[in-house]
Structure 1
Amino acid sequence: MVQGSLQKSFSVDINHTDPNQWKQANSNIMVKALLLLLFLYAVNGLSVEKICAKSGEMVALQCPSQKPNVIWSLPHNKNQSDLLITDGTLVLLRASEEQQGHYSCSHSAFNKTFDLRVYTTLTGDCENVTQYRTLCFSEYTCTLDCPVTNTPPKTSPDLTSKGVTWQQDGRILSEDDKYYFPSVQETDRGVYICVRSFLYGNQVYNTSFTVTLELEPEETIKNEGIISPHPNQVFFVDLGSPLVINCTALIFSDFHEIYWKMYDFSINSSASSRVHVSNSNEILDDGEKSTVSLIFKEVSKEDLSTVFTCKLESTSQHPVCVNITLALKERPSYAAMTSTAVVIPVVMVIFVLIYIKYKIHITLFLRDTFGCHIRASDKRSYDAFVMYYMSEQGPGLSEDDRRTLQSVLEDKFGYSLCLFDRDVLPGKAIADAVLECVEQSHAVILTPSSPDLTFESALLSAIHKALVERQTRLVFIKNKPTEKTEAIVQSETLQMLTDMGNCVTWEGSLALSSFFWKELRYHLPPVKEPHRIPLLPQ
């Protein structure tokens, strides 16, 4: 009865209600219903975030606020091993397919749900979630950032970051947080893997990300970036010395800023500071080249342990940072320098002494083995002219000794000799013939002999003059003095020839290995192909 009346009354009210009032009431009901749904959505955790993780890798589920009193709800009947809660973040050290499902975190101010999916082979459902794309422009700088999505917070006391490793096709490229390209080329296009490693206990756990580098032509969009210095570049310095390091960037946007900082604080431009900065700009056709100089009045010891960062911020791209450090120049070892300064002169003196003592042997070895000699390129016909002088210290060389001297030089050593009694035809004046022999020979060998084979003093004077003018070598063979030999004064002309030439002592019939032949060959010019050309026509 009550119900019926209520229904009747209600129906009458609706039927008699103005149409505009009905529309307004209906709109109010819909707004209230929507607000109620949003309230239930927030309170009951209806928002679900999809998380994809590779099997065997670490994944971290982070609540909106990292508070220790966060309450986590895990999937029922799931493997709950290898789980860690640190700073309100739930960390699965090695995700497995058994751990898939909905994870919820709740606090007095929030409630969030994660849909964890663990894959072994990447499929289309997770591909868009795990792939990261970086667009770079040909011939410009580019930096690949390793994502931090679903990784433990840096402030976690339980996990220690072990750094980042960049890989491509199984090759390790870098171990820096960012992978830097000073000038991107077409060959750099492709897929890069960055792996973040964390230490927990005695185990290292990894989280990998796939970063795809895509290229666009240079003329499409101008890419801003720092062109110098290079990332992690080390500048070698001397303590107390001034230093200027320029950070140069290409900029194509209207709103930008480039500056140096250390310890997360910008370095000021006050010239009174020991370390300050100075700015300069160069206008280009389609942008500008901006340079900020880091100036040290004098480098201190504390600068060697400081990381200086050049940072470029602009509205057209993400910030770009380049870190540099200072290091002491390597000082040369004074002990090594002192040793070198002592050893080198000693070695040189030893070599000089060895050469002085064995110069004849060394010269003949080089001449015979390697052909190391300098031979005049004139048109002289003979290697040496053998002529005789009257010995004042003995009988001179016998006929057998003269034949031995001639045959050894010609037959054994290959010299081309000019012999007066063989190569000069009769009928020519003796003086003219002798002088012509001297002119046609590279050397003259004066041999002691009996008086009937020697030349007059006047002719010897003419020979001396010819030798001086033609710069012809003179080898003076003398007898070995004996105990019975008295000191005899030589003639003035013979003394001049003796002083001019190189003296070799004849000690009788000698073997080919004797020092006499080595010394004689040393003073004679290098041998040439034997030949004999008569000075006078038949």
Structure 2
Amino acid sequence: MASNTVGNSSVTIKLKKKIKANWPSLVRYPIVSLLVVSGLGIVLHVKWLELQLIYRSHFRHGQLDEEKKEFDVFLSYVCTSEEVEGVSKEACETTPKPLEVLLRQVLEDQWGYRLCLMERDVIPGVYTSDVVLAIQRSRMLICLLSAEYLSNNNAIFVLESGVQALLQKSALKLLLIWTNKAPAALIHPDLPTQVQRALKVLPRMYWTSGQPVRATSDFWKSLRKAMPDHRMKLVSLIKP
């Protein structure tokens, strides 16, 4: 209330409490956000190879040039026969029939796919260049993994070459078929780092000898779905 010679005057004043800025809270949120972004960046950096393989395994990456392909499937395996050393390859593929023999019969004889086999279609010579060229000329790489396979340097080279082709934006499909019940125990540290990480994320199937008929039937149905849609024509192999 104020008063002077003119008269009296009154006014109502409302006081408002000033809220102090909570500086620790204002600083905390940007720091937390920075830590979250940094953590995601580290995870992406560490798992980038696996993420690339997962993406390119499920989504065809690159163009499929049919003129450069001569085979539907490059079948990579190591003979699992328990015979003594020195046995012939023919004896290795006798009864009981291992999976590599069954695959050859089903894929090539029954389903009509053109297979690339090391002992039949790869010319002896400079091993590394022949294998890389054979993989490049195939639409799909199937590796039959076992303890014998993962301890064989030549077999590991085939698998590693397939992984590198997949990372190089190739249209190659890669499928792993484990023939052991506990595959994780077979991934030992002596394998190349790229192969170790690829074995954990690449498409896979499991085969156990002596499994029930229904399980066997499900295996072949799943394999049929994973195969290329179209088969290579034999006439494409004939060159002038």
Q: Structure 2 length as normaliser, TM-score?
A: 0.52
Secondary structure in structure 2 of the residue aligned to 1:433: helix
> 1:304-360 CA distances to partner (integer Å, 9 max, x unpaired)?
xxxxxxxxxxxxxxxxxxxxxxxxxxxxxxxxxxxxxxxxxxxxxxxxxxxxxxxxx
Q: Structure 1 CA distance, aligned partners of 2:142 and 2:235?
A: 17
CA contact (8 A) 2:73 2:142 kept: yes
1:467 paired residue number:
166
Q: Structure 1 CA distance, aligned partners of 2:187 and 2:78?
A: 15
Q: 2:224 aligned with 1:521, yes or no? A: yes
CA contact (8 A) 1:414 1:528 kept: yes
The Cα of 1:453 is off from its aligned counterpart by 6.4
The Cα of 1:459 is off from its aligned counterpart by 5.4
CA 1:418–1:516: 2 relative to 1, 3 Å: same
More strand by share: 1
CA contact (8 A) 1:475 1:501 kept: yes
The Cα of 1:420 is off from its aligned counterpart by 0.9
> 1:426-465 CA distances to partner (integer Å, 9 max, x unpaired)?
2x21111111111001110011353596626455433321
Q: Which has the higher contact order (CA 8 A, sep 6+)?
A: 2
Q: For residue 109 of structure 2, what is the amino acid of its counterpart?
A: D
> 1:39-88 CA distances to partner (integer Å, 9 max, x unpaired)?
xxxxxxxxxxxxxxxxxxxxxxxxxxxxxxxxxxxxxxxxxxxxxxxxxx
CA 1:416–1:509: 2 relative to 1, 3 Å: farther
1:416 paired residue number:
114
Q: Structure 1 length as normaliser, TM-score?
A: 0.25
2:142 paired residue number:
445
Aligned partner of 1:479 among 179, 197, 202:
179
Q: For residue 432 of structure 1, what is the amino acid of its counterpart?
A: S
CA contact (8 A) 2:181 2:208 kept: no
Q: Structure 1 CA distance, aligned partners of 2:130 and 2:236?
A: 14
Q: Percent identity?
A: 24
CA contact (8 A) 2:70 2:137 kept: yes
CA contact (8 A) 2:76 2:158 kept: no
CA 1:414–1:454: 2 relative to 1, 3 Å: farther
Q: Which runs of 5+ in 1 are unaligned?
A: 1-374
Q: Structure 2 CA distance, aligned partners of 1:508 and 1:532?
A: 36
Aligned partner of 1:503 among 176, 192, 204:
204
> 1:461-496 CA distances to partner (integer Å, 9 max, x unpaired)?
3332122221311010002416xx983444334333
Aligned partner of 2:104 among 406, 420, 439:
406
CA contact (8 A) 1:479 1:505 kept: yes
Q: For residue 221 of structure 2, what is the amino acid of its counterpart?
A: K
The Cα of 1:388 is off from its aligned counterpart by 2.5
CA 1:509–1:415: 2 relative to 1, 3 Å: farther
The Cα of 1:376 is off from its aligned counterpart by 4.3
Q: How many residues are treated as equivalent by the alignment? A: 153
More helix by share: 2
CA 1:388–1:533: 2 relative to 1, 3 Å: farther
Q: For residue 112 of structure 2, what is the amino acid of its counterpart?
A: G
> 1:116-167 CA distances to partner (integer Å, 9 max, x unpaired)?
xxxxxxxxxxxxxxxxxxxxxxxxxxxxxxxxxxxxxxxxxxxxxxxxxxxx
Q: 2:55 aligned with 1:381, yes or no? A: no
> 1:266-286 CA distances to partner (integer Å, 9 max, x unpaired)?
xxxxxxxxxxxxxxxxxxxxx
Q: Which runs of 5+ in 2 are unaligned?
A: 1-62, 83-91
Larger Rg belongs to: 1
